Amino acid sequence: MDKASCVVVVPNMKKAGFIFGAKYGRGFATCRKAGTNGWSAPAGIRIEGGSFGLQIGGTEQDAVLLVMNETGMRHLRESKFTVGADGTVAAGPVGRNATAQTDASMHAEMLSYSRARGVFAGISLDGATLRPDDSANKELYGTDPGNRAILTGEVATPPAASRLEDMLKRQSPHEGK
């Protein structure tokens, strides 16, 4: 977490399929402010995608994406990009000794962690897009300042997002140093 450039949190992402499948989720992204260890205000994000293959079932999952480098950060600030085509994602390492085992994965732009509920089985070809959630931004800020302005730290964190900001500060051991 302390090496991540940005964090994307998407709770309750839905995925369902029977040969053709779809996934959809809404969440928030926040990035480190340039020259500091502080975090930007949260920006609304949508994940949408489709799939095709031998698959059946439905799941709900909580997903966390850690954006690990400047290229991934630039993709996140764009108006829309495709995960897998424009940005590479690897499954994040797990376990107590994760930092010693991440060298191979750290070349990916994003690391993905998720916790799923439900039943889903199959093999599929799929893609997903990450794009700004303008309606969430408007609800949180009263206007839509745009994800680029939010994620670069030009917009102040609203009071409603203070719990997220506090959690990120606790997860960043170098905060304030």
pLDDT in tens, 144-172: 888 888 988 888 888 888 888 788 777 66
pLDDT in tens, 24-70: 999 999 888 876 668 889 999 998 888 888 888 888 888 888 888 77
Give the integer Cα–Cα distance in Å for 15 and 50.
Answer: 9
Please spell the DSSP secondary structure of 26-59, one letter per residue. Answer: EEEEEEBPTTSS-BPPPEEEEEEEEEEEEEEEEE
pLDDT at 25: 92
Identify which of 77, 66, 83, 86 has the alpha carbon closest to the alpha carbon of residue 146: 77
Residues, the chain: 177
* Domain locations in the chain as residue ranges: 6-169
